[in-house]
Amino acid sequence: FMLNYNYGNREAAEALLLAEAIDDMHKVYPRDRDMPMLLYSCITTLDRMTSPDAQGASAHLRSILTVEYQDSPEARKVLNSARSS
C-alpha cells in the first residue's frame, strides 16, 4: 500500500477508506485468492496507528481473516502473533 510510509495517524482516514473498500470487496468476491493478502496488508497498516477507529477497523478485518480464511498463511501469521503476545 502507498499508505505504509509510517505517517502514523495522519493517514488514518485514508487507511479507513481502504479497510472499508477491502471489506466491501470481500463481500462481493469472497473466494478471491488475493483477499487474505489484502486483508493482512491492511491489518498491518492499521495496527501501526493508534486511533480508536483504526484499531476497530483492524479488529474487524482480523476477524474476517481468521474466521473466513483460516487456512491461509496470512491467517496463521495473525493467529500466531496473537498467541505470542
Q: What burial class does residue 29 get, using C-beta atoms within 10 Å of its C-beta: 0-12 exposed, 13-18 middle, 19+ buried?
A: exposed
Tell me how far apart the alpha carbons of residues 24 and 42 are, in angstroms, rounded to a whole number: 13
Q: What burial class does residue 84 get, using C-beta atoms within 10 Å of its C-beta: 0-12 exposed, 13-18 middle, 19+ buried?
A: exposed
pLDDT the model gives residue 3: 53
pLDDT the model gives residue 11: 84
pLDDT over 70 for what percent of the chain? 91
* Cβ–Cβ under 8 Å, residues 68 and 27: no
What's the 3-state SS for 4-20?
A: CCCCHHHHHHHHHHHHH
Q: What is the mean pLDDT of residues 47-63?
A: 94
